[in-house]
Amino acid sequence: MAPIGTGPEHDRLDFYRKDMAQLSQRGRLRSLSPRAGVDFSSNDYIGLAASDRLKDAIRAALDDGVAVGAAGSRLLRGHTEWQADFEFEAARFFGAEAALGFGGGYMANFALLATLPQREDLLLMDELSHASTHEGARAGRASVQRFRHGDVAHAEDVITNWRRAGNTGAVWIAVESLYSMDGDVAPLRELAALADRHGFLIVDEAHATGVFGPDGRGLTHHLEGRENVLTLHTLGKALGGSGALICGAKCLLDFMVNRSRPFIFATAPSPLMAVAGRAALQILRDEPWRRDLLQDHIACFNDEMARRLPRIQTSGSQIVPLIVGPDAETMALAAQIQARGFDVRGIRPPTVPEGSARLRISLNLNVTRQDIRRLTDTLEELWPDL
């Protein structure tokens, strides 16, 4: 007799088909679509992904014999001189004692939160923190609580109640410096002061690296180098490549090398991405006009929106959420905008909270001021249809 659920009459894919059908009925079925239209959706904020300088750096590295793949984990043969040089240079650039590279930002965030907070500690996360933060928290040992978005007083209340319950461990406060779906900035100075009294501050700089701070060093640049501050800088957004770095105290990063399973058992990043990363840091130093032009784009979009759709509040950063609300209406509006030649994507729950489906406008150097005006023309025309 065949085991239950494996006989010839049993549809092994029934659960998955039904789940996809339910997502479709709720307007939440996702699919992959190719690039098309003017880029208002990528995170290539300062236009480095297709930079000639990055291409030239990689061509030169290949000509010098740098391998495409690392061919092993960092603790085996995957630790290359190019990765070591890049981490050393990145630590100096960002102002940290040390840096440790990962293949991507999601894995770096996951590894950090699953490894450093210990069983007696509290991991306190902003409620809008990235999915990788939540997954790392689930995989870790510490107790986990959330605080209201950007609300330092509420974060302190949570800590106070946790302490009153007799807990004496460290508190690890995890936030984003610039929130990926809302475009707003965390109150970093106040959070750092709270961390100074209770433990550590972890800041995901993914969407601020290369865009804000001196030479694009991020919004946490004034806190780098403190022993209780760790930052995550991705290479796959403004820096134009792929991978990520955790920056912080060497002791903590050495602990991760020895204790972090996502680091120990993963194939190392491509040496070519280390080459690209070093070139990107040099571009940040040499070409401040990129950040200046992006700020001009942000100001242009804000001015046009204030004139055309004054009821819509913009974020002040390169990430602008236009909240529509219902899932189906959001995706319908996105489709209409895409049909006009703009790559604007709709974002639905669970990526964002229920009832807050939105268009996520990403301003970058792959567009012109004329493109921005054309997009705002289109938004003015189509938004009243809702």
CATH of domain 52-286: 3.40.640.10
State residue 26's pLDDT score: 84
> Mind giving me the DSSP string for 156-175?
HHHHHHHHHTT--S-EEEEE
Non-local CB neighbours of 258 within 8 Å, separated by 6+ positions: 264
CATH of region 288-385: 3.90.1150.10
Phi and psi dihedrals of 359, rounded to 5?
Answer: -90, 130
Task: Delimit the domains of the chain by residue range.
Answer: 52-286, 288-385
Instruction: Output 120 or 386, whichever has higher pLDDT.
Output: 120
Query: Given a cut of 70, is residue 103 above it in pLDDT?
Result: yes
Per-residue pLDDT reduced to its tens digit, 312-367? 889 999 999 999 999 989 999 999 999 999 999 999 998 899 999 999 999 999 99
DSSP one-letter code for 267? B
Average pLDDT value over all residues in the chain? 94
The reported pLDDT for the residue numbered 35 is: 86
Residue 240 has pLDDT above 50, yes or no: yes
Res 30: pLDDT: 86
What is the crossing angle of helices 327-339 and 369-382, to 10°? 130
362 SS3 class: strand
Supply the pLDDT for residue 27.
79
Would you state the pLDDT for residue 159?
Answer: 98
**95 backbone φψ class: left, alpha, beta (φ>0; ψ -120 to 50):** left
- Residue 330, Cβ density class (10 Å: 0-12 exposed, 13-18 middle, ≥19 buried): buried
pTM of the full structure:
0.93
Q: Do domains 52-286 and 288-385 have the same CATH topology?
A: no
Q: Is the pLDDT of residue 4 over 60?
A: no
Percent of the chain with pLDDT over 90: 88
pLDDT 10s digits, 219-230: 999 999 999 999
Residue range 177-206, pLDDT digits in tens: 999 999 999 999 999 999 999 999 999 999
Q: What are phi and psi of 173, to 5 degrees?
A: -95, 120
Strand-pair category, 171-176 with 122-126: parallel
- The tokens describing 316, both together, are 């002040």
Q: What is the pLDDT of residues 72-98, one digit of tens each?
A: 999 999 999 999 999 999 999 999 999
Confidence class of residue 2 from pLDDT cuts 50, 70 and 90? Answer: very low
Of residues 328 and 298, more confidently modeled = 298
Q: Which of helix, strand or coil describes residue 225?
A: coil
**Secondary structure (DSSP) of 62-93:** HHTT--SS--SBTTTTT--HHHHHHHHHHHHH
Residue with tokens 């490894």: 115
